[in-house]
Copies of this chain bind each other. A is one copy, B any other.
Amino acid sequence: MSDKISAPLSLRSVRVTDAFWSREMDLIRTAVIPYQWDALNDRIPDAAPSWWAHNMRAAARAVAAKKAGGGYTPAQRNCGFTVYPEEGTAPRDDSFYGFVFQDSDGYKWLEAAAYQLAVKPDKELQKQAQEAIDLICAAQEEDGYLNTYYTLTGREKAFTNLKDHHELYCFGHLTEAAVAWKQATGKDDLLNVARRFGRCIADKFGPGKERGCPGHEIAEMALYRLYEETGEAEWKELAQRFLDVRGTEPSTFALEENRRLKKEGKKELPVTAARYTYYQAHKPVREMDEAVGHAVRQMYLASGMADEARLANDEAMLAACERLWRSAVSEKMYVTGGVGGTHVGEAFSRPYDLPSDTAYSETCAAIGLAFFARRMLQLRPKAEYADVMERALYNTVLSGMALDGKSFFYVNPLEVDPAACETDERLSHVKPVRQKWFGCACCPPNIARILSSLGQYIATQSDNTLYIHLYIGSEITAKMNGQEITLKLDADLQKGTARLTVLSGETEGTLAFRAPAWADNLRAAASGAQHTQFVDGYWLASGRWQAGDTVDIAFDISVQAVAASPLVRETMHQVCYTWGPWVYCAEEADNGKNLHLLRACPERTGEARFTEKQIGGLTLPALTVPGKRVAAPENAPLYAPWQPSETEETKITLIPYFAWNNRGKGEMRVWIETE
């Protein structure tokens, strides 16, 4: 399968020029990253504290004391899943504060900062990032161990609870940041921190050592990335070890628990893996066939599995990845590209259980789905992977952040009635408005890192083929058959056209263009092509390319009324509207209250019209579609003999889903009832 394997383009080789996406990326640089730096330093007045810098500084002091031969007092305050001390008060001692995985917040921020620095120098940001890195270096223990929770609460307990204590998760995020920093700045400092911690971990859990694997996955894909960056086989081997141990008997998570139970004189548990579904540790990874458990973890694991399939040419792993993909996207994905149907365990629910109002659909899970999709594209360039990746990026990932970059959704429901969210405990996980910062702040920095690295999703390349997956205006420098070539991608989705122009360089090779699932009648013309073909949803033009050559792509895009499979009980009789990659939704601001009384007329979708709407300072293409409104007279009896509904003609106004809740609190619905 190696001939088809491709890789994302390097960080510096894609410059996004598209107006919409440039604005999003600028927002990350100018608003989100500085805000999050303040958050990491607990300088946001009304937000939950991060404790990140505090914990790092406290750990650095503890490490210094240790090196100086002095002791330090382990301490812990409000750690784990408990409350914080009075909000906004700075801790007065060197205790550990916040969640056990708090270190990762800063690593995610650093990764996003590195991506930004790769495309645009920024002295202030560079200074802050270096400050963070210096702090991290100082907090690393002499043997390479790095985790402020255990450094501050008792190093002797390190590595005793891989299932729930996120040490390997923090290591994974550290490593992702380290590689990004190296690629952006050429600097090895953070990379060496990751290497030293990695060796400390490998000494304990590497091949031939104690069996163990991460409770929250990410280390797998981070290690493959470190391997690809450094060429050092030890990282690939450690990743493989984690994958191979996962889900095998006796369960390492059960063994861990039993050691604790034994110490406490309690009855030990059976050591079977089957009950660790939440952690995707219920069966060996190569046997997995259903996306289950915590959705972010499942997507991160699948991403690491796809890396293994690609880098080790591991056919059994590829087959498992394909089964997980099919399960996730054909039975368990929201139309918005979100995954995670239930808040119980923030998890995948059973097939076709996709409730709109109690949805979990965590922003991070959609990001994870994009990770997985890009890796599947690297394995096998098939348009369906890019279709899903695009659906997630354009909808759920973006909806996770307000248009001003200042507030965030953790959960992305497809139907919201604020009155219900505010009074109903069954909806307590669904916030009707975005929040400034969370105590468990995984989503905001995750959005920052994926949007900052958007270029890596636009195109991938193999030795002689450049694949264009997303029609996002950009300048791309690629190496094809060893020759550098610079190209300009212009795209105008409103017109349904895209043009790739060779700016400089000359080479033999293939330029491949995705035919999106939402487009009809793809038409393509390439000035320099000697051979064209259509494979797996990509139009491939092969030939010799030189400056001035162009490839023109055109397709028809129309508003579509989309229905879900009849096996999805929740969306019976409902449609949603899409246009290109965007999913649309109805908001109370445009359509009044009681959105469930609206009736779409999908057979009249041809009457849909675009209108411009100002939302959050942006001019967005809103849609009006023909519809009806059911009369709901006051004092209508609760139950009465059935009669056809009384309706009146109306226009339903829809806006892109990602832009919802930027005009105050109100009802929202993606799925509209039909007549």
Q: List chain A positions with a Cβ less than 8 A from chain B.
A: 329-331, 333, 335, 342, 344-345, 349-350, 353, 358, 419-420, 423-426, 560-569, 572-573, 575, 594, 596-597, 602-603, 605, 630-632, 636-645, 673-674
Contacts and interface: CB of A to CB of B under 8 A. Distances in A.
Given A564-B638, A573-B573, 18 more contacts: A330-B637, A330-B638, A333-B638, A335-B639, A342-B425, A344-B426, A350-B420, A353-B424, A358-B426, A561-B641, A563-B639, A563-B641, A565-B639, A566-B630, A566-B636, A572-B673, A573-B673, A605-B642
Contact of A575 (B344, B350, B569, B642): B642
A641 B331 contact: no
7 contacts: A333-B638, A344-B426, A350-B420, A426-B426, A562-B641, A565-B637, A568-B638
A353 B641 contact: no
Nearest to A573: B573
A347 to B, nearest CB: 10
Contacts of A630: 566
A589 B526 CA distance: 61
A661 B566 CA distance: 25
* Copies per assembly: 2
A534 to B, nearest CB: 20
A606 B99 CA distance: 63
A639 B673 contact: no
Contact of A565 (B329, B563, B565, B636): B636
Closest A-B pairs by Cβ, 3 of them: A602-B642, A561-B642, A566-B632
B641 A560 contact: yes
A563 B350 contact: no
Nearest to A634: B567
A565 B637 CA distance: 6
Nearest to A357: B569
B563 A329 contact: no
A563 B632 contact: no
A639 B329 CA distance: 10
A208 B186 CA distance: 83
Nearest to A578: B639
A277 to B, nearest CB: 10
A130 to B, nearest CB: 45
Contacts of A603: 644
A555 to B, nearest CB: 16
A466 to B, nearest CB: 29
A596 B569 contact: yes
A93 to B, nearest CB: 23
Nearest to A560: B641
Given A425-B344, A426-B342, A331 B596 contact: no
Contacts of A560: 641-642
B563 A642 contact: yes
Nearest to A358: B426
Contacts of A344: 424-426
Contacts of A561: 641-642
B563 A342 contact: no
A348 B616 CA distance: 38
A569 B673 CA distance: 10
Contacts of A330: 637-638
Nearest to A355: B426
A414 B643 CA distance: 22
Nearest to A602: B642
Nearest to A565: B636
A566 to B, nearest CB: 4
Nearest to A675: B573
B562 A642 contact: yes
Contacts of A423: 350
Nearest to A571: B639
A562 B631 CA distance: 17
Contacts of A562: 639-642
Contacts of A329: 638
Contacts of A350: 419-420, 423-424
User: A567, A643, A644: which has the most chain B beta carbons within 10 Å?
Assistant: A567
